[in-house]
Protein backbone atom coordinates (compact mmCIF):
# COMPACT_ATOMS: atom_id res chain seq x y z
CA UNK A 1 0.00 0.00 0.00
CA UNK A 2 2.83 2.35 0.88
CA UNK A 3 4.55 1.75 -2.45
CA UNK A 4 1.35 2.49 -4.34
CA UNK A 5 0.98 5.82 -2.56
CA UNK A 6 4.65 6.76 -2.96
CA UNK A 7 4.41 7.88 -6.60
CA UNK A 8 1.20 9.96 -6.18
CA UNK A 9 2.61 11.61 -3.06
CA UNK A 10 5.86 12.47 -4.84
CA UNK A 11 3.96 13.91 -7.82
CA UNK A 12 1.40 15.78 -5.70
CA UNK A 13 3.47 18.98 -5.09
CA UNK A 14 4.27 19.38 -8.79
CA UNK A 15 0.68 18.66 -9.82
CA UNK A 16 -0.68 21.17 -7.30
CA UNK A 17 1.70 23.87 -8.57
CA UNK A 18 0.85 23.04 -12.19
CA UNK A 19 -2.86 23.15 -11.41
CA UNK A 20 -2.63 26.42 -9.49
CA UNK A 21 -0.35 28.46 -11.72
CA UNK A 22 -1.19 27.08 -15.16
CA UNK A 23 -4.35 25.02 -15.59
CA UNK A 24 -6.73 27.09 -13.47
CA UNK A 25 -5.63 30.43 -14.98
CA UNK A 26 -5.96 28.93 -18.45
CA UNK A 27 -9.50 27.74 -17.67
CA UNK A 28 -10.41 31.17 -16.33
CA UNK A 29 -9.07 32.78 -19.51
CA UNK A 30 -11.07 30.31 -21.60
CA UNK A 31 -14.26 31.23 -19.75
CA UNK A 32 -13.41 34.91 -20.17
CA UNK A 33 -12.85 34.51 -23.90
CA UNK A 34 -16.36 33.10 -24.23
CA UNK A 35 -18.00 36.25 -22.88
CA UNK A 36 -19.21 39.39 -24.61
CA UNK A 37 -19.28 42.96 -23.31
CA UNK A 38 -22.33 42.12 -21.17
CA UNK A 39 -20.49 39.14 -19.65
CA UNK A 40 -22.85 36.73 -21.38
CA UNK A 41 -21.81 33.45 -22.99
CA UNK A 42 -20.95 34.11 -26.62
CA UNK A 43 -18.61 33.06 -29.43
CA UNK A 44 -18.51 36.68 -30.54
CA UNK A 45 -14.76 37.12 -30.05
CA UNK A 46 -13.87 34.00 -32.03
CA UNK A 47 -16.30 34.90 -34.81
CA UNK A 48 -14.77 38.38 -34.98
CA UNK A 49 -11.35 36.84 -35.53
CA UNK A 50 -12.61 34.58 -38.32
CA UNK A 51 -14.65 37.26 -40.08
CA UNK A 52 -12.25 40.19 -39.78
CA UNK A 53 -9.43 40.10 -42.40
CA UNK A 54 -7.29 42.23 -40.09
CA UNK A 55 -6.94 39.49 -37.49
CA UNK A 56 -6.53 36.66 -39.99
CA UNK A 57 -3.82 38.74 -41.70
CA UNK A 58 -2.08 39.19 -38.34
CA UNK A 59 -2.16 35.42 -37.78
CA UNK A 60 -0.69 34.76 -41.22
CA UNK A 61 2.05 37.33 -40.60
CA UNK A 62 2.86 35.67 -37.27
CA UNK A 63 3.16 32.27 -39.00
CA UNK A 64 5.20 33.73 -41.85
CA UNK A 65 7.69 35.45 -39.55
CA UNK A 66 8.01 32.25 -37.48
CA UNK A 67 8.68 30.14 -40.58
CA UNK A 68 11.36 32.54 -41.80
CA UNK A 69 12.93 32.42 -38.33
CA UNK A 70 12.97 28.62 -38.48
CA UNK A 71 14.57 28.68 -41.94
CA UNK A 72 17.34 31.12 -41.00
CA UNK A 73 17.98 29.35 -37.70
CA UNK A 74 18.34 26.06 -39.56
CA UNK A 75 20.61 27.42 -42.30
CA UNK A 76 22.86 29.28 -39.87
CA UNK A 77 22.77 26.74 -37.07
CA UNK A 78 23.34 23.51 -38.99
CA UNK A 79 26.99 24.19 -39.90
CA UNK A 80 27.71 25.11 -36.27
CA UNK A 81 26.08 21.88 -35.08
CA UNK A 82 28.18 19.81 -37.51
CA UNK A 83 31.33 21.57 -36.33
CA UNK A 84 30.44 20.83 -32.71
CA UNK A 85 29.75 17.18 -33.50
CA UNK A 86 33.17 16.78 -35.15
CA UNK A 87 35.10 18.80 -32.57
CA UNK A 88 36.88 17.56 -29.48
CA UNK A 89 35.19 17.66 -26.10
CA UNK A 90 37.07 20.80 -25.04
CA UNK A 91 36.24 22.72 -28.22
CA UNK A 92 32.65 21.50 -28.03
CA UNK A 93 32.33 22.91 -24.52
CA UNK A 94 33.78 26.27 -25.58
CA UNK A 95 31.40 26.55 -28.55
CA UNK A 96 28.45 25.60 -26.35
CA UNK A 97 29.42 28.30 -23.87
CA UNK A 98 29.71 30.88 -26.67
CA UNK A 99 26.26 29.92 -27.97
CA UNK A 100 24.64 30.16 -24.55
CA UNK A 101 26.53 33.24 -23.33
CA UNK A 102 24.26 35.80 -25.09
CA UNK A 103 21.27 34.31 -23.26
CA UNK A 104 22.79 35.48 -19.99
CA UNK A 105 21.91 38.98 -21.17
CA UNK A 106 18.34 40.24 -21.17
CA UNK A 107 16.55 39.90 -24.50
CA UNK A 108 15.61 43.59 -24.23
CA UNK A 109 19.28 44.62 -24.09
CA UNK A 110 20.14 42.33 -27.02
CA UNK A 111 17.31 43.77 -29.09
CA UNK A 112 18.41 47.33 -28.37
CA UNK A 113 21.87 46.27 -29.50
CA UNK A 114 20.38 45.14 -32.80
CA UNK A 115 18.58 48.48 -33.08
CA UNK A 116 21.97 50.22 -32.85
CA UNK A 117 23.51 47.87 -35.41
CA UNK A 118 20.65 47.81 -37.94
CA UNK A 119 19.43 51.41 -37.64
CA UNK A 120 19.70 53.96 -40.43
CA UNK A 121 22.86 55.26 -38.77
CA UNK A 122 23.99 51.84 -37.57
CA UNK A 123 27.38 50.47 -38.44
CA UNK A 124 26.02 48.20 -41.21
CA UNK A 125 24.51 51.10 -43.14
CA UNK A 126 27.50 53.31 -42.35
CA UNK A 127 29.89 50.65 -43.69
CA UNK A 128 27.90 50.06 -46.88
CA UNK A 129 27.59 53.80 -47.48
CA UNK A 130 31.30 54.41 -46.90
CA UNK A 131 32.35 51.81 -49.49
CA UNK A 132 29.76 53.07 -51.97
CA UNK A 133 27.81 49.81 -52.06
CA UNK A 134 24.56 51.70 -51.38
CA UNK A 135 23.58 55.35 -51.81
CA UNK A 136 20.93 55.55 -49.10
CA UNK A 137 20.45 53.67 -45.83
CA UNK A 138 18.78 50.30 -46.02
CA UNK A 139 15.61 49.78 -44.01
CA UNK A 140 16.63 46.90 -41.76
CA UNK A 141 14.39 47.73 -38.82
CA UNK A 142 10.67 48.08 -38.14
CA UNK A 143 9.80 45.53 -40.80
CA UNK A 144 9.55 41.75 -40.95
CA UNK A 145 13.24 41.43 -41.80
CA UNK A 146 14.24 43.14 -38.57
CA UNK A 147 11.88 40.94 -36.54
CA UNK A 148 13.24 37.78 -38.18
CA UNK A 149 16.82 38.86 -37.43
CA UNK A 150 15.97 39.48 -33.79
CA UNK A 151 14.05 36.21 -33.41
CA UNK A 152 16.81 34.23 -35.12
CA UNK A 153 19.34 35.71 -32.71
CA UNK A 154 17.10 34.78 -29.78
CA UNK A 155 16.28 31.19 -30.75
CA UNK A 156 19.11 29.89 -32.93
CA UNK A 157 20.74 28.34 -29.86
CA UNK A 158 17.83 25.90 -29.55
CA UNK A 159 18.29 24.78 -33.14
CA UNK A 160 22.06 24.36 -32.81
CA UNK A 161 21.91 22.38 -29.58
CA UNK A 162 19.06 20.16 -30.78
CA UNK A 163 20.88 19.20 -33.98
CA UNK A 164 24.27 18.88 -32.27
CA UNK A 165 22.83 16.60 -29.60
CA UNK A 166 21.39 14.40 -32.35
CA UNK A 167 24.76 14.24 -34.13
CA UNK A 168 26.74 13.41 -31.00
CA UNK A 169 25.40 9.85 -31.10
CA UNK A 170 26.36 9.35 -34.76
CA UNK A 171 29.41 7.20 -35.37
CA UNK A 172 31.98 9.41 -37.13
CA UNK A 173 33.36 6.38 -38.93
CA UNK A 174 30.24 6.31 -41.12
CA UNK A 175 31.39 9.39 -43.01
CA UNK A 176 34.86 7.91 -43.38
CA UNK A 177 33.34 4.68 -44.67
CA UNK A 178 31.30 6.64 -47.23
CA UNK A 179 34.47 8.41 -48.38
CA UNK A 180 36.30 5.08 -48.72
CA UNK A 181 33.46 3.78 -50.86
CA UNK A 182 33.91 6.72 -53.20
CA UNK A 183 31.25 9.14 -51.99
CA UNK A 184 32.08 12.83 -52.27
CA UNK A 185 31.64 15.16 -49.31
CA UNK A 186 28.35 16.42 -50.72
CA UNK A 187 27.08 12.88 -51.33
CA UNK A 188 28.23 11.85 -47.85
CA UNK A 189 26.39 14.81 -46.34
CA UNK A 190 23.07 14.08 -48.04
CA UNK A 191 23.24 10.29 -47.65
CA UNK A 192 24.76 10.01 -44.18
CA UNK A 193 24.89 13.20 -42.11
CA UNK A 194 21.56 14.77 -43.04
CA UNK A 195 19.36 11.66 -42.55
CA UNK A 196 20.98 10.91 -39.19
CA UNK A 197 20.46 14.51 -38.03
CA UNK A 198 16.74 14.57 -38.85
CA UNK A 199 15.57 13.87 -35.27
CA UNK A 200 17.53 16.93 -34.09
CA UNK A 201 16.20 19.01 -36.97
CA UNK A 202 12.62 18.05 -36.12
CA UNK A 203 13.17 18.97 -32.47
CA UNK A 204 14.88 22.26 -33.35
CA UNK A 205 12.20 23.26 -35.84
CA UNK A 206 9.46 22.54 -33.31
CA UNK A 207 11.18 24.53 -30.56
CA UNK A 208 12.07 27.54 -32.69
CA UNK A 209 8.67 27.71 -34.37
CA UNK A 210 6.76 27.47 -31.08
CA UNK A 211 8.91 30.12 -29.42
CA UNK A 212 8.71 32.44 -32.44
CA UNK A 213 4.92 32.18 -32.58
CA UNK A 214 4.63 33.33 -28.96
CA UNK A 215 7.42 35.95 -29.01
CA UNK A 216 6.40 39.37 -27.76
CA UNK A 217 9.44 41.46 -26.81
CA UNK A 218 11.39 41.18 -30.07
CA UNK A 219 8.46 41.97 -32.41
CA UNK A 220 7.55 44.93 -30.18
CA UNK A 221 11.05 46.43 -30.18
CA UNK A 222 12.29 45.53 -33.66
CA UNK A 223 8.97 45.58 -35.48
CA UNK A 224 7.51 48.70 -33.90
CA UNK A 225 4.08 49.69 -35.10
CA UNK A 226 4.77 48.42 -38.62
CA UNK A 227 4.88 44.71 -37.79
CA UNK A 228 2.01 43.54 -35.63
CA UNK A 229 1.99 39.88 -34.61
CA UNK A 230 -0.67 38.04 -32.64
CA UNK A 231 1.02 38.17 -29.20
CA UNK A 232 1.40 41.96 -29.54
CA UNK A 233 -2.22 42.38 -30.62
CA UNK A 234 -3.44 40.26 -27.69
CA UNK A 235 -1.36 42.35 -25.29
CA UNK A 236 -2.75 45.60 -26.72
CA UNK A 237 -6.33 44.36 -26.41
CA UNK A 238 -5.79 43.57 -22.73
CA UNK A 239 -3.57 46.46 -21.62
CA UNK A 240 -4.54 49.32 -23.97
CA UNK A 241 -8.18 48.85 -24.91
CA UNK A 242 -9.00 46.79 -21.77
CA UNK A 243 -10.90 44.31 -23.93
CA UNK A 244 -10.03 41.27 -21.84
CA UNK A 245 -12.43 38.80 -23.55
CA UNK A 246 -11.01 39.54 -27.02
CA UNK A 247 -7.45 39.45 -25.70
CA UNK A 248 -8.11 36.08 -24.08
CA UNK A 249 -9.69 34.76 -27.29
CA UNK A 250 -6.68 35.90 -29.34
CA UNK A 251 -4.38 34.18 -26.86
CA UNK A 252 -6.24 30.90 -27.19
CA UNK A 253 -6.35 31.19 -30.96
CA UNK A 254 -2.58 31.73 -30.95
CA UNK A 255 -2.11 28.71 -28.69
CA UNK A 256 -4.42 26.57 -30.80
CA UNK A 257 -2.77 27.62 -34.07
CA UNK A 258 0.69 26.82 -32.70
CA UNK A 259 -0.37 23.41 -31.38
CA UNK A 260 -2.16 22.57 -34.65
CA UNK A 261 0.79 23.52 -36.86
CA UNK A 262 3.30 21.72 -34.65
CA UNK A 263 1.07 18.63 -34.59
CA UNK A 264 0.79 18.69 -38.40
CA UNK A 265 4.55 19.05 -38.79
CA UNK A 266 5.17 16.22 -36.32
CA UNK A 267 2.66 14.03 -38.15
CA UNK A 268 4.27 14.71 -41.52
CA UNK A 269 7.74 14.08 -40.09
CA UNK A 270 6.67 10.76 -38.56
CA UNK A 271 4.95 9.71 -41.79
CA UNK A 272 8.09 10.48 -43.77
CA UNK A 273 10.22 8.58 -41.29
CA UNK A 274 7.98 5.51 -41.47
CA UNK A 275 8.07 5.58 -45.27
CA UNK A 276 11.87 5.70 -45.21
CA UNK A 277 12.01 2.77 -42.78
CA UNK A 278 9.71 0.60 -44.88
CA UNK A 279 11.46 1.63 -48.10
CA UNK A 280 14.79 0.46 -46.71
Record the pTM. 0.88
Number of CB atoms found within 10 A of residue 18's CB: 12
CA–CA gap between residue 102 and residue 158 (Å, rounded): 13
CA–CA gap between residue 266 and residue 127 (Å, rounded): 43
Mean pLDDT of the chain, nearest integer = 88
Q: What is the DSSP letter of 71?
A: H
CA–CA gap between residue 139 and residue 223 (Å, rounded): 12
pLDDT at 255: 92
pLDDT for 179-232, tens place per residue?
Answer: 777 777 788 888 888 888 898 999 999 999 999 999 999 999 999 888 999 999
Distance of CA 162 to the CA centre of its chain: 13
Distances in Å between the Cα of 253 and the Cα atoms of 61, 83, 127, 183 are 14, 39, 43, 48
pLDDT for 126-171, tens place per residue?
Answer: 988 988 888 888 898 999 999 999 999 999 999 999 999 998 887 7
**b/e map 214-228, b = 16+ CB within 10 Å:** bbebbbbbbbeeebb
pLDDT at 276: 56
pLDDT at 135: 87
CA–CA gap between residue 92 and residue 85 (Å, rounded): 8
Going 113 to 117 to 121 to 126, the CA torsion angle's sign is positive
pLDDT at 178: 74
Question: Residue 218 contacts by C-beta under 8 Å, 6 or more apart in sequence?
Answer: 107, 111, 147, 150, 151, 154
Domains of the chain: which residue ranges?
1-33, 47-279
Give the model's confidence band at 1: pLDDT under 50 very low, under 70 low, under 90 confident, else very high.
Answer: low
Q: Using N-to-C axis directions, what is the helix angle for 194-213 and 244-279, rounded to 10°?
A: 170
Percent residues over pLDDT 90 in the chain: 52
Q: What is the DSSP letter of 170?
A: S
CA–CA gap between residue 99 and residue 103 (Å, rounded): 8
pLDDT (average), residues 57-75: 96
CA 113, 164, 94 angle in degrees (round to 5)? 60
Look up the CATH superfamily of 47-279. MetI-like (1.10.3720.10)
Give the model's confidence band at 272: pLDDT under 50 very low, under 70 low, under 90 confident, else very high.
Answer: low
Number of CB atoms found within 10 A of residue 100's CB: 12
pLDDT (average), residues 33-40: 84
CA–CA gap between residue 10 and residue 94 (Å, rounded): 37
Provide DSSP, 128-164: HHHTTS-SS----SSSHHHHHHHHHHHHHHHHHHHHH
Does residue 71 carry a pLDDT above 80?
Answer: yes
CA–CA gap between residue 134 and residue 107 (Å, rounded): 30
pLDDT (average), residues 261-267: 90
Does residue 280 carry a pLDDT above 60?
Answer: no
pLDDT for 78-129, tens place per residue?
Answer: 999 999 988 888 999 999 999 999 888 999 999 999 988 998 888 899 988 9
Does residue 274 carry a pLDDT above 80?
Answer: no
Amino acid sequence: MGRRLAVPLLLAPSLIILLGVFLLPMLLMLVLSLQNDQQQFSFENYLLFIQDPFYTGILWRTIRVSLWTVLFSLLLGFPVAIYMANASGKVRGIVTMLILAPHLISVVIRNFGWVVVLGEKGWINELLLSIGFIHEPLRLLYNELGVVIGLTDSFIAYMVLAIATSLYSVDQSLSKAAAILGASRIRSFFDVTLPLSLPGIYAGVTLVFSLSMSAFVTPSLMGGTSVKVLPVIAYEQVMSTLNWPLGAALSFLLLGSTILLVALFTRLAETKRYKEVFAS
